[in-house]
């Protein structure tokens, strides 16, 4: 299959190079963003300013899980560091488990049906102190409460470069079976996320992140330090965002021996099996300790009957210990360690060509549909080759059935966690990249589908904050996001794209990049003014829909009905059954929504059909993508 980049050289020469990297942008910028760029806290060339600031915390948490009661009880000592230039008069605490007491409608958010097992009392804060002062969170003179956040007023302002100390005690009932992100998987297995009172992000753009958690808008975290102790019964095991810091205190000798084997084995090693539980497996201690430094969040899972496989992966970026933890009956999950190894190969060699951030990683088989990311972990469903064959009619291995899901969730370790993205407002900055990563499994897909939802009235410009459109946010987050990155990849070409991506990650890892920091970095590093592209994809209305109007006089007449500057392929099928393919850069849409493409005909072949196809075959209307010889 031959691939060409039509007209890219000629039209790129016509793009005006950036002559003043610190100029103000031509892009629309809302008022809340403007002060940071005008005063130099953020820069128009996408580099990190010397005056950029970011707050953070130290968490020392002790938590006890009673699996029979599904009760989590915790206490925490938190030190909060105000690195901002502002004196703070309040602090915002997130209490996401309060979502479960919001009523049956929200409790059935994912499944759409009422599920009484998901109703709970939320996060009950028993005691809360700031710098030794006991705060009554029910006193509206002391705190405001909006459903999943407390805004707590300080008796004395917290000056710049100073700290405050918080002590909190709380408990909540872990949601019952049926919740897809955090909760019980079965009576004795649970995935625990969103579980502690977390200090919200306060940034230079929006101030405190006090958005209501509704289970659709997802992550936004500062990078903090965690020292955690988790108490569970001795017949339970825990898997977490990092490996335990006291392994010899908790693991029986055979587990430690198996782990040592896994650290040097590229083939999966069985660490714990169903037979070990049946033999009465117990840990040496019921206190599990963890230390995670410069982390965006911390999650963990527990079970008294899940299998555990592990293996290593090593290359020039380092050595990784990769884990799969699963329900014994889900035998297809035994392929998941291998999918993790292959995913890291893609990340290191194709996209984003950057060190995978978590050298200890676990995929836990807890979710009932799809997957869910947490720092150092994913909570994934089990998908077998037989399942995929049933759904698609195509014979599939267990590995292939799970590979795309593993790759997608692991890509989230870069976006949003390593990069500190505000996914609540711009989920296309992480879900879009994760979906785009699937392109590198085998490149252009052979199947396609028409999706009129992409062109519906609900498809707003991508700069519309994600949290404002929860029911249809996936259109921009996954579909439009991945299409925009696919087009950017083909606009710049692999070499320049990878150079820009590396600079973006180098600059903004462990920070909080805005969409403008992303765009300005690509402008700066590529040397091209790509504002026309950003305007088209992220600020303008539109959708992916190309139409092959006609083919005559050795020229294809293609119209961009949806107006998005999308990359696409032209597939020529000849009467002898052979095919050739051209990949067309989105630069052809820079100045017009009509494109005349010259076709070089082979005198020895006759064209039977011509077909336009976009990434993963996603196009609003497929019927207008074909030309057939008469």
Task: Find all residues with CB under 8 Å of 525, minimum gap 6, and list them.
Answer: 46, 499, 500, 503, 504
Q: At what angle do helices 481-492 and 515-526 cross, to 10 degrees?
A: 10
Both 338 and 239 in a single domain? no
Give the pLDDT score at 367: 81
Residue 521 domain flag: no
Provide the number of structural domains found in the chain: 2
State the CB neighbour count (10 A cutoff) for residue 622: 17
Give the pLDDT score at 445: 58
Both 289 and 197 in a single domain? yes
Both 259 and 115 in a single domain? no
With beta carbons less than 8 A apart as the criterion, state whether 359 and 338 touch: no
Both 255 and 242 in a single domain? no
CA–CA separation, 211 vs 204, rounded Å?
16
CA–CA separation, 323 vs 462, rounded Å?
36
Going from the C-alpha of 378 to that of each of 384, 435, 448, 465, the distances in angstroms are 17, 15, 28, 25
Q: Which helix (H) or strand (E) holds 381?
A: none
State the CB neighbour count (10 A cutoff) for residue 39: 11
What token pair was written down for 167? 């002590």
Residue corresponding to tokens 């980049």: 5
Range of the domain at 351: 251-270+312-423
- Find the CATH number of the domain harbouring 406: 3.30.2010.30
pLDDT in tens, 228-237: 999 999 999 9
Biggest CA–CA distance in the chain, Å, is 87
- Find the CATH number of the domain harbouring 289: 2.60.40.1730
Residue 500 domain flag: no
Both 215 and 102 in a single domain? yes
Both 193 and 106 in a single domain? yes
Both 90 and 198 in a single domain? yes
Going from the C-alpha of 579 to that of each of 233, 571, 575, 597, the distances in angstroms are 62, 7, 9, 18
CA–CA separation, 402 vs 409, rounded Å?
11
Residue 356 domain flag: yes
Q: Which residues of 349-453 form beta strands (DSSP E)?
A: 360-364, 371-374, 377-380, 449-450
Give the pLDDT score at 602: 83
State the CB neighbour count (10 A cutoff) for residue 609: 14
CA–CA separation, 423 vs 211, rounded Å?
12
Nearest to 319 by CA among 362, 271, 265: 265
Residue 563 domain flag: no
Give the pLDDT score at 617: 67
Mean pLDDT in consecutive groups of 10 residues from the start of the chain, 630 residues? 41 41 80 97 98 98 96 98 98 92 49 55 94 95 94 97 98 78 89 96 97 85 98 98 98 98 98 97 98 98 98 98 97 97 98 98 89 95 90 90 96 98 96 94 68 87 93 90 95 98 98 98 98 98 95 94 95 93 95 95 89 81 90
Give the pLDDT score at 362: 98
DSSP string, 193-237: -S-S-EEPPEETTTEE--PPP-SSS------EEEEEEEE--TT-E
User: What residue spans of 527-615 are helical by DSSP H?
Assistant: 531-534
Going from the C-alpha of 419 to that of each of 97, 219, 512, the distances in angstroms are 25, 11, 7
Bridge-based pairing state of the strands 71-81 and 143-145: unpaired
Residue 529 domain flag: no
Both 127 and 172 in a single domain? yes
Bridge-based pairing state of the strands 618-619 and 449-450: parallel
Residue 594 domain flag: no
Report CA dihedral (371, 515, 12, 49) to the nearest 10 degrees: -130
What token pair was written down for 382? 């089990």
With beta carbons less than 8 A apart as the criterion, state whether 38 and 128 touch: no
Query: Of 391, 423, 455, which marks where a domain is finished?
Result: 423
Both 255 and 345 in a single domain? yes
Residue 17 domain flag: no
CA–CA separation, 566 vs 542, rounded Å?
11
Query: Of 366, 397, 423, which marks where a domain is finished?
Result: 423
CA–CA separation, 458 vs 276, rounded Å?
52
CA geometry: angle 308, 310, 312, nearest 5 deg: 170
Question: pTM for this one?
Answer: 0.93
Q: Which residues of 541-613 form beta strands (DSSP E)?
A: 546-552, 555-560, 568-574, 579-584, 594-598, 607-613
Both 194 and 218 in a single domain? yes
What token pair was written down for 178? 């049926």
Give the pLDDT score at 409: 97
Positive/negative CA dihedral, 12, 14, 19, 25? negative
State the CB neighbour count (10 A cutoff) for residue 464: 16
Q: Chain centroid to CA 88: how far? A: 31
Q: Which helix (H) or strand (E) holds 129?
A: strand 124-130
Both 126 and 210 in a single domain? yes
Nearest to 354 by CA among 302, 438, 415, 298: 415
Give the pLDDT score at 573: 95
What token pair was written down for 280? 């009465």
Both 329 and 241 in a single domain? no
Residue corresponding to tokens 């100045």: 591
Nearest to 403 by CA among 360, 345, 446: 345
Query: Of 423, 458, 480, which marks where a domain is finished?
Result: 423
Going from the C-alpha of 86 to that of each of 21, 80, 223, 473, the distances in angstroms are 29, 14, 19, 33
Nearest to 83 by CA among 121, 26, 128, 41: 41
Residue 63 domain flag: yes
């Amino acid at each position: 299959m031959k691939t060409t980049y039509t007209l890219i050289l000629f039209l790129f020469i016509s793009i005006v190079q950036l002559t003043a990297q610190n100029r103000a942008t031509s892009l629309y910028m809302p008022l809340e963003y403007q002060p940071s760029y005008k005063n130099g806290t953020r820069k128009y060339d996408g580099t990190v300013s010397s005056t950029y600031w970011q707050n953070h915390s130290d968490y020392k948490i002790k938590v006890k899980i009673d699996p029979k009661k599904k009760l989590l009880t915790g206490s925490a000592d938190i030190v909060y560091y105000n690195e901002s230039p502002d004196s703070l008069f309040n602090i915002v605490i997130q209490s996401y488990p309060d979502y479960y007491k919001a009523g049956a409608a929200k409790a059935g958010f994912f499944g759409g049906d009422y599920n009484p097992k998901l109703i709970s009392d939320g996060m009950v804060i028993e005691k809360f102190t700031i710098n030794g002062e006991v705060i009554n969170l029910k006193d509206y003179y002391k705190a405001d409460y909006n459903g999943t956040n407390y805004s707590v007023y300080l008796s004395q302002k917290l000056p710049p470069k100073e700290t405050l100390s918080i002590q909190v005690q709380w408990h909540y009932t872990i949601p019952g079976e049926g919740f897809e992100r955090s909760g019980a998987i079965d009576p004795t297995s649970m995935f625990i996320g969103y579980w502690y009172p977390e200090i919200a992000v306060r940034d230079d753009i929006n101030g405190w992140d006090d958005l209501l958690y509704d289970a659709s808008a997802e992550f936004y975290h500062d990078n903090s330090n965690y020292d955690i102790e988790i108490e569970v019964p001795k017949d339970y095991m825990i898997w977490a965002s990092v490996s335990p810091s006291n392994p010899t205190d908790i693991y029986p000798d055979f587990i430690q021996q198996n782990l040592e084997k896994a650290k040097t084995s590229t083939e999966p090693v069985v660490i714990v099996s169903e037979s070990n539980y049946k033999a009465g497996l117990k840990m040496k201690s019921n206190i599990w300790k963890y230390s995670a430094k410069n982390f965006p969040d911390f999650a963990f899972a527990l079970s008294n009957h899940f299998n555990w496989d592990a293996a290593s992966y090593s290359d020039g970026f380092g050595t990784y210990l990769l884990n799969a933890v699963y329900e014994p009956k889900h035998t297809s999950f035994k392929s998941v360690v291998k999918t993790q190894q292959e995913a890291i190969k893609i990340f290191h060699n194709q996209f984003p060509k950057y060190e995978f951030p978590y050298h200890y990683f676990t995929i836990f088989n807890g979710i009932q549909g799809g997957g869910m990311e947490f720092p150092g972990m994913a909570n994934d469903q089990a998908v077998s080759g037989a399942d995929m064959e049933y759904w698609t009619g195509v014979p599939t291995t267990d590995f292939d059935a799970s590979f795309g899901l593993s790759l997608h969730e692991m890509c989230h370790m870069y976006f949003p966690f390593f990069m500190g993205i505000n996914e609540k407002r711009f989920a296309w900055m992480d879900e879009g990249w994760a979906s785009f990563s699937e392109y590198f499994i085998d490149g252009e897909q052979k199947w396609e589908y028409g999706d009129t939802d992409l062109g519906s009235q609900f498809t707003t410009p991508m700069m519309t904050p994600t949290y404002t459109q929860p029911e249809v946010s996936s259109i921009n987050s996954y579909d439009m996001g991945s299409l925009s990155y696919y087009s950017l990849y083909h606009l710049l070409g692999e070499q320049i794209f990878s150079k820009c991506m590396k600079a973006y990650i180098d600059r903004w890892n462990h920070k909080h990049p805005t969409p403008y920091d992303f765009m300005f970095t690509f402008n700066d590093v590529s040397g091209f003014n790509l504002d026309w592209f950003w305007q088209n994809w992220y600020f303008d209305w539109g959708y992916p829909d190309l139409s092959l109007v006609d083919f005559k006089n050795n020229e294809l007449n293609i119209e961009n009905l949806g107006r998005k500057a999308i990359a696409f392929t032209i597939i020529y099928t000849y009467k002898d059954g052979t095919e050739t393919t051209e990949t067309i850069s989105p630069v052809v849409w820079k100045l017009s929504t009509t494109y005349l493409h010259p076709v070089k005909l082979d005198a020895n072949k006759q064209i039977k059909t011509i077909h336009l196809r976009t990434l993963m075959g996603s196009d609003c209307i497929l019927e207008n993508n074909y030309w057939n010889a008469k």
